[in-house]
Amino acid sequence: MASLKLPYLATAALSGSLFGAGLYVSQMVDPLKVLRFLDFGAIPSGGWDPSLAFVIGPAIIVMFIAVQLGKRRQAPLFDSSFHEPASTKIDTPLVAGAAMFGIGWGMAGICPGPAISLIAFLPDNLWIFLVAMFAGSFAGSFILPSSQRLVNVL
Amino acid sequence: MESFTPLSAALGGSLIGLAAAVLWLGNGRIAGISGIFGQLLPPAQTVVWRLVFLVALVATTFAAAKLFPGLGVGGDVAARLVKAPAALGLPTPVWLAIAGLLTGIGTKVGNGCTSGHGVCGLARLSLRSLVAVVVFFGVAIITVAVTGVV
């Protein structure tokens, strides 16, 4: 199966490495910096930190180019097809889920990527956030309609 | 505003975009972190590459901080999480547990986070992702304003 071959796994490792480096270099690993970006109330006093807008912009541009390159190909290099997200519907789970995530993100300043990358530094209480996040993700899989749940194939 | 760091932000953002590009063109997979770890538990699919990705992510975060400690948190500044706002009377561990739980459920039910919807979805010009991004950014901004957590 394609997903167990060396080039496929090496690609996953390279991508994860670039992602981790990007989170550190951009300082998305700092929950307090993320919160200072989300703190629009500090704009009048000059205490707002707009840095994170400069993270997502270039990230989207680079990925946009990759998506355009991908459209010229039938398949990615190491698998038989592109795994496009199946749903294109704007429905209640999408909006309710995004809203719940928004509350969590605003409370702690930690989205899933930085949550994982912070394992490198083990700040106090991180394990509480991680265990809760994994538990929430697992619980959420039972809220989803069964058609969106996946079978175990390694 | 000494905390404003647009250059390192743009460099880091480009690396995150490159990470997403490599995974998409190589393996045809979306580099959404909530999706990558969210399908590790049953009902799971393709566990091995997800673990490889996540271990590489943590290891490189660690290595980058050792190589370039001057960039900030994780380097020459110790990483720390927020404290619960004193006015609400909740202990910090409870505050963080609630935040983690909402982040986990929300990204599973909403099928994506900052990377999956924010970077990959917007780059794919997905209207669904645009709606998710507007909602979670908007709600996060309101949450910070209401709780005064900063």
pLDDT of B88-107, one tens digit each?
Answer: 899 999 999 999 999 999 99
**Prediction pTM value:** 0.94
Distance from CA of B130 to the nearest CA of A (A): 10
Judge whether B134 lies within some domain: yes
**Tally of structural domains, chain B:** 1
Judge whether B1 lies within some domain: no
Test B123 with A64 for CB contact under 8 angstroms: yes
Judge whether B37 lies within some domain: yes
Q: Which residues of A touch B39 (CB under 8 A)?
A: 150
- Whether B149 and A35 have beta carbons less than 8 Å apart is answered as yes
Residue B73 bridge partners (DSSP)? B77
What is the ipTM metric for this complex?
0.96
* pLDDT value, residue B149: 87
Judge whether B110 lies within some domain: yes
* pLDDT value, residue A152: 36
Quote the domain boundaries for residue B87: 6-147
Judge whether B57 lies within some domain: yes
Q: Is the pLDDT of residue B1 over 80?
A: no
Judge whether B73 lies within some domain: yes
Residue B126 bridge partners (DSSP)? none
- pLDDT grade, residue A87 (50/70/90)? confident
Instruction: State whether residue B139 is helix, strand or coil.
Output: helix
Distance from CA of A106 to the nearest CA of B (A): 4
Q: Taking CA atoms, what residue in B is nearest to A62?
A: B17
Residues 6+ apart with CB under 8 A from B37: A112, A116, A134, A137, B50, B54
